[in-house]
Structure 1
Amino acid sequence: MITLSDENARLLPVTVLGLGPMGRALASAFLKARHPVTVWNRTPGKAGDLPDRGAVVTDSVQDAVRAGQVIIACLIDYEAVRATIEQSPEDWKSRQLVNLTSGEPAQARQMSRWASARGIGYLDGAILTPTPAIGTPSATVLYSGARGVYEAVQETMAALGGTAMHVGDDPGQASAYEVALLDIFATSVNGIVHAFALASAEGIEPERLATFATGIGGLLPEMITRFAQQIQAGQYPGDRSTIASAASGITHIINTATAHGIDAGMLTAAKSIIDRAVADGYGPEGLARLAAVLHKSG
């Protein structure tokens, strides 16, 4: 196993498997940090300017893996990672696999078991920032899996810039953070576009709504921090807003949207959780209580 005590740890040869936009950004960051870089992609012609900057392009997975000591996978899904690694050499003694492919916590755990059975040091990772942030101070990457593997690649992965954090030995933890944060993003985007559709149906111009909508968005950081504290403590004071009042408000939204023929599926799903909380006697409590209601229903 490679360790941080190796004299040339900062310049370990890196292989990047997968040259989508994120894969190219990763390879670029390693090149900028002066690592020897080999790249592979199932479909040729995706390397862009990487060869001109010193990357070695190969059409063989075996050659790509043999060239690196830190093997970065950034593919479409975990099935693609498994199918790709199955083409690699059997000897992984001096190599580590860092999987930066997006997926689900259960898939990460299964992949870790699969890799371990083949003698492959495995680390799962979640990239929490967009492609342009890679290699800059604003990048954030979470890692989970065996601490020893993380320590073996930590200095090399520092080439990606910004914040890097090992969030636990459970290989599924990094992915769990990612899907939870994507949950916020996905439902927020739905709320934004739904609000614009509703406003438009009522004759409100998008730019006029945006003036007030940005103020609503500004409430969220404080709310997230407050909810985290309340959930941690198991106490949900209704001094600012209550589940009962939320039930009334969301009903108005659903009725207005439905009257205009606008899909209200996500809203009705949210209302069902609110109604369940009210039925269970939580109406006077704060909205953070809904997290516990959801967890219980799961």
Structure 2
Amino acid sequence: MSTKQITIIGSGQMGRRLAELPVTKGYDVSVWNRTRAKADSITGVKVFENLEEAVRQSPLIVICVLDYAAVERILDNIGDKSILAGKTLINFTTANPQEAEALETSLADINAGYINGAIQAAPDQMGLPETTIIVSGNHGHFERSRDALAVFGGNIKYLGDRAAMASAMDLATLTWLYGSYTGLIYGIVLAQKTGLPLGAFSEILGEITPGFTEFFKHQIGVVEKGDFTVSQSPMSISIAAIQRIHDAFRNVGAQGDFVKAISDLLQKAESSGLANQEVAALVKVVG
């Protein structure tokens, strides 16, 4: 069987893109989707009505569907599980680490390899040299699928043999993303309420972000080393700063629940005697 054969299961926006890209690289692409009409319009692929037949076509199976429950239903609908033996299954459906571990175990029981993947890009960003693809799982199966993964994105980050690691990285980085984005929305509201031009806010934010990225990386290093001696920013400064921010939202009559949640964490840190440690010591409160 040619190594340039791939089966894509799922034809949503991302699944469709995952099917289109290998076609441009000379792959024979087989596609199955629960609603066939969504797959029929993809150019250059062979669409299968029968799930098992689609799986039989290729040594590499890529799944990208709505949620993990849908992945389980798909695998349950493969009556002859032996057709998965020796194949590599890459799952780009968002999962938590425990779900990834369970699927890894069940596939190992039938001698199938599992690569757990995470995509943090929009469909139109796929296939670019800078597109990051996070993966983890059996190293041998990763090596077999490396060329195909590179079709989806040029920046492949392999996190090791444990399939759960890609999900952990996905959720950890998304936690940071959504926290930052919520902070952005609150910053916009404060700017609007105080008459600060949003253009000026955007410009300054863009200029200071690289420096804060380096600060965040330093804070991760502090936690990794376990040495919370003040090195850049004592907790006490953040305790006072968040109180000023909380007061500012109250003074302009804006909803301040997000800011209060941060303030509560910092107050708990102060009560725990952490005020004179590096602000990264907040991890002791959250953990």
TM-based fold match above 0.5: yes
SS of residue paired to 2:18: helix
Distance in 2 of aligned mates of 1:234 and 1:144: 26
Give the corresponding residue for 2:66. 76
Give the corresponding residue for 1:270. 262
Pick one of 161, 166, 181 that aligns with 1:174.
166
Distance in 2 of aligned mates of 1:162 and 1:152: 16
Give the corresponding residue for 2:228. 236
Amino acid in the other structure paired with 1:25: R
Aligned residues: 285
Query: How far 1:257 sits from its partner (Å)?
Result: 1.5
Distance in 2 of aligned mates of 1:262 and 1:216: 25
Residue by residue over 1:262-295, the C-alpha shift from the partner in whole angstroms, topping out at 9 and shown as x without a partner, is 2322222222221122122211222222223322
Give the corresponding residue for 1:283. 275
Structural mapping, 1:13-52, within 5 Å = 13-47=5-39, 50-51=42-43
Give the corresponding residue for 1:3. none
SS of residue paired to 2:38: coil
Structural mapping, 1:1-298, within 5 Å = 8-9=2-3, 11=4, 13-47=5-39, 50-51=42-43, 54-88=44-78, 89-90=80-81, 91-295=83-287
Query: How far 1:188 sits from its partner (Å)?
Result: 0.8
Distance in 1 of aligned mates of 2:9 and 2:132: 20
Query: How far 1:48 sits from its partner (Å)?
Result: 7.1
Query: How far 1:116 sits from its partner (Å)?
Result: 2.7
TM-score scaled by length of structure 1: 0.88
Query: CA 1:209/1:156 → structure 2, altered by over 3 Å: closer, same or farther?
Result: closer
Distance in 2 of aligned mates of 1:86 and 1:119: 16
Query: How far 1:251 sits from its partner (Å)?
Result: 1.2
Residue by residue over 1:198-233, the C-alpha shift from the partner in whole angstroms, topping out at 9 and shown as x without a partner, is 111112232232232223323222112211222222
TM-score scaled by length of structure 2: 0.91
RMSD: 2.0
Unmatched segments (≥5 aa) in structure 1:
1-5
- Identity among equivalent positions (%) equals 25
Query: How far 1:178 sits from its partner (Å)?
Result: 0.7
Distance in 1 of aligned mates of 2:196 and 2:151: 47
Unmatched segments (≥5 aa) in structure 2:
none
Amino acid in the other structure paired with 1:231: V
Amino acid in the other structure paired with 1:168: G
Distance in 1 of aligned mates of 2:197 and 2:153: 41
Residue by residue over 1:111-160, the C-alpha shift from the partner in whole angstroms, topping out at 9 and shown as x without a partner, is 22232334432211112333223222012112212222222322332222
Q: Does the Cα contact within 8 Å between 1:15 and 1:65 map onto a contact in 2?
A: yes
Q: Does the Cα contact within 8 Å between 1:78 and 1:111 map onto a contact in 2?
A: no
Q: Does the Cα contact within 8 Å between 2:135 and 2:158 map onto a contact in 1?
A: yes
Amino acid in the other structure paired with 1:74: C
Deviates more, 1:80-89 or 1:172-181: 80-89
Query: How far 1:77 sits from its partner (Å)?
Result: 0.9
Query: How far 1:35 sits from its partner (Å)?
Result: 1.0
